[in-house]
Amino acid sequence: MPAGSIGNRKQEDHLMTKLYAGVAAAAIAALLAGSAGVGLPRQIRRAVRRLRRQSGGGRRIGGPFTLVDQEGRTVTDREVLAKPSLVYFGYTFCPDVCPFDMARNAQAVDILTEWGIEVTPVFISIDPKRDTPEQLKFLRRGDPSRHDRADRHRGPGEGRLTGLQDLLPGAGVRRRLLPHRPFDLHLLHAARHGLRRLLQARRHARTDRRANFVLRE
């Protein structure tokens, strides 16, 4: 294949990745802000409505919670979600897919900033036994989702949070989360992605096209 064609394909993949990240981030930000996406592009407003319909049946997502941030401070949902936020549930002991997720979230925040939409990236650990405040604080030093502007305007609870097991009674149910013991997390992670998908990701992640495909999935 000519070098020019390869370059064009890589550029198209990069633009598509930015589009998907932007739509997802804007939809999540609008949902967490309690808005209907007013003022956003039509495609994003449709995505917001679709996500609302999908999350409307059965148990509702949300509810009050109490967590511990990377500084060891106890914070509530009112402090953490005081403004539109991009919330990511995960854990730091994840060598495969999670680093890609963090990079994608950072890119989504940058895209929203370019659109004039300020959001707070929030990482909530589901493995508080190992993701201690010290661990999250150390990880945050090299976190691609950290922005200097967010540090300058930092408020209580913004950034990384831990202690999902310390949520107020019932909050885990309202968030459609199931409790898992820390040593079950890697097994759950492998089962969720599937061995075949993990092997494909490791085999194809060397090319931009396949790496972007994995990110979109």
Tens-place pLDDT, residues 77-119: 788 778 777 777 777 776 666 667 777 777 777 777 888 878 7
CB distance 91 to 185 below 8 Å: yes
pLDDT at residue 82, rounded to an integer: 80
Task: Classify residue 144 by its DSSP letter.
Answer: T
Residue 142 annotated as binding? no
Helical residues (DSSP H) of 81-207, grouped into ranges: 98-114, 133-140, 148-152, 171-174, 185-193, 195-204
Strand, coil or helix: what is 168?
Answer: coil
Q: What predicted TM-score, i.e. pTM, was given to this entire model?
A: 0.47
Residue 94 annotated as binding? yes
Task: Classify residue 164 by its DSSP letter.
Answer: G
pLDDT at residue 105, rounded to an integer: 74
CATH of region 3-216, choose from 3.40.50.720, 3.40.30.10, 3.40.50.300, 3.20.20.70? 3.40.30.10
pLDDT in tens, 60-76: 555 677 777 777 788 88
